[in-house]
Structure 1
């Protein structure tokens, strides 16, 4: 459950809680942090603690990547101050006597927020929306693969001969998900008890593929919940001697894993959805149309924030339910942007991100692009109908991380919504990821070249 600091204090004093995970999101959207004793958290850690500032410069392997302005060997890799956000305390029922709290990152003195920290980037996007009278509301749907092996087994086998939890496509299939229910039930109910409003889990469009859906909420809470959902899915799988993967494209022959981002704006005062207009033939307000137009305008340039890894781009295949076109349609799952809902629930679903995305960065990018569209009164083109995969006239989403990096470097749009230091930071992260892949030698190369060259 989500609890107050006072309630946490009582639970610690009653010895119901003895460990507090003081955590934050790194650049990859992973949960990082410390396990703090309940006593220390109450005595002083609830005010602030310190992490090495290299956490926003390391890659997926935790390698100290050179070339960052914010932190390097030249700066000495000092400390950053992390101030726990007391509104984010949750009890985690799947971990014994454990609670979690998320924090915000500041400079060494604890005075200035770190501009390049992922949560701060989203908070500034939300502040921008608030200044315009809007509260961004988001729901993110996460897909993942479930395996009947442990992480250790999979690693020992060099990620070969993986055993998905099903041998057939299980989209909406009740019997197959009944076989997976001991794990899925613990995941749903554990998250629900922790304070994440889970609606459902379901089988998805490939053997072993799952989806978890949660009820939409304000953008910051959704991002916080998103990283907890992914961590919980892994921890609970570990407890069941299983493994899960949130790779965007785990296997060439099957669908990738998406993170569909449903977003809307509510009026701060009335709490009503400003996207709804019953007088419009599509039920869409002018604000909504300009918001979508902004997101479409920015989509290609934003790609490093929506598809951050080399593997992300292997998901964009025709006929795979992953979009290949930068366009919108009415309830059309072949479009990059799908109009969903009606009345007060009307919203736009961005179908571009995979489940490897950092929610703070992707939410921020989409919100800021949409607000740009509103501020500049951008006009929305008519929705595209039919099979967008076969429509050769439409603009394509970037096909590779290299292409996305080039678009971000040359973009005249991104500096209008992000500070230059933030752009430089995340472009550098993408460049490093690409360079590491370019140096690698993989199984495809062995099969193709080992004997025949």
Structure 2
């Protein structure tokens, strides 16, 4: 049995890894560090696992609100019809999404269809080009990542029936209410508190455990000084792995 934590995954391993699955989620980072992806049938994924598949270049031609840039890029513009670029799965990025019934997940890198090399705007491709130069000198690039951020509790709308399947939506609440009305997850100023995080115990430990299962583990997780302010220090790693984990950590919260 091939483990999901294997150091190297080959295309020939995939039928066994995905033996009990019917679908696969794939995604890549745009220039804002936001994951853009899709769900595909397992057989479709197996057919494109080595050579990649077409992915609309518009993800490099619009912002986080899907508004096209005033000045369009050569790789993505209305004139070329926002043509497809090539998304190639990174098989070593395999993990399962624990909050989505363990659906298998792979990151992709975006390639230029003209020359076959990394797309100039692809963050993963750019970083790989830099680290390849570092490695050519027999060096290794290491990095850490730390996030400090505010967390809020979204009140349910009067027409909502809250449940574990459909929790209150902060985005929906903020559409109809001012930002400063969103209540903080914790109150007051108390950095490194051992007690305030466990007022929301299921959430607090759930984030820590979920990140570990999603292969973007947290080394340190605590309150910072300020209402609802938390700090997460991710596990130190080689820079390419660290960059992926930093982006995936945001995915845990953005969804």
- The TM-score with structure 1 as length reference comes to 0.49
For the residues of structure 1 that align with 2:178 and 2:82, how far apart are their CA atoms? 33
Q: CA deviation at 1:74?
A: 1.7
Is 1:103 equivalent to 2:120 in the alignment? no
Deviation of the 1:120 alpha carbon: 1.3
List gaps (5 residues or longer) in structure 1. 236-453
Note if 1:37 corresponds to 2:41.
yes
Of the three residues 135, 144, 150, the one matched with 1:139 is 144
CA gap of 1:21–1:2, structure 2 versus 1, over 3 A, is farther
* Residue among 214, 217, 229 paired with 2:249: 229
Q: Matches of 1:50 and 1:181 in 2, distance apart?
A: 43
C-alpha RMSD of matched pairs (Å)? 2.0
> How do 1:306-321 and structure 2 match up within 5 A?
none
1:48 equivalenced with 2:52 (yes/no): yes
- Report the CA distance between 1:50 and its aligned residue: 1.5
Counterpart Cα distance in 2 of 1:84 and 1:171: 41
CA shift, 1:201, in A, is 1.0
Whichever of the two has the greater Rg, that structure is 1
2:29 aligned partner: 25
Out of 83, 93, 97, the residue aligned to residue 98 of structure 2 is 93
| Change over 3 Å in CA distance of 1:37–1:57 after alignment to 2 | same
The structure whose residues are more often helix, as a share, is 1
Secondary structure at 1:227 match in 2: helix
Q: How does 1:141-180 map to 2 (within 5 A)?
A: 141-149=146-154, 150-151=169-170, 152-180=172-200
- Name the counterpart of 1:201: 221
Determine if the alignment matches structure 1 residue 126 to structure 2 residue 131. Answer: yes
Is the CA contact 1:2–1:194 (under 8 Å) kept in the aligned structure 2?
no
Determine the C-alpha separation between the residues in 2 that align with 1:19 and 1:144: 33
1:28 is paired with a residue whose SS is coil
The CA deviation string for residues 280-333 of structure 1, in whole angstroms up to 9 with x for no partner, is xxxxxxxxxxxxxxxxxxxxxxxxxxxxxxxxxxxxxxxxxxxxxxxxxxxxxx
Deviation per CA, 1:74-123: give whole Å up to 9, x if none. 22210000000111111121111312111111123572221221111111
**Structure 2 equivalent of residue 214 of structure 1:** 234
Pick from 99, 115, 119 the counterpart of residue 114 of structure 1.
119
User: How far, CA to CA, are the matches of 1:70 and 1:8 in structure 2?
Assistant: 32
Counterpart-to-counterpart distance in 2, 1:110 and 1:226: 29
TM-score (norm 2): 0.84
Q: Quote the residue 2:158 is aligned against.
A: none
What CA distance in whole angstroms lies between the structure 2 residues aligned with 1:20 and 1:135?
A: 32
C-alpha distance in 2 between matches for 1:91 and 1:190? 10
- For 1:69 and 1:111, the matched residues in 2 are separated by 16
Q: Distance in 1 between matches of 2:179 and 2:231?
A: 22
Distance, in Å, in 2 between the alignment partners of 1:155 and 1:31 is: 23
Indicate conservation of the 8 Å contact 1:22/1:33, yes or no: yes
Q: Number of residue pairs matched?
A: 233
Residue 16 of structure 2 is matched in structure 1 by 10
- Find 2:89's aligned residue among 80, 84, 87: 84
Q: Is the 8 A contact 1:107 1:114 kept in 2?
A: yes
Q: Which runs of 5+ in 2 are unaligned?
A: 155-168
Query: Distance between the aligned counterparts of 1:139 and 1:211, measured in 2?
Result: 14
Distance 1:34 1:109, change over 3 A: farther
Residues 80/141 of structure 1: CA separation in 2 closer, same or farther (3 Å cut): same
The match for 2:68 among 45, 60, 64 is: 64
Does structure 2 conserve the Cα–Cα contact (< 8 Å) formed by 1:28 and 1:60? yes
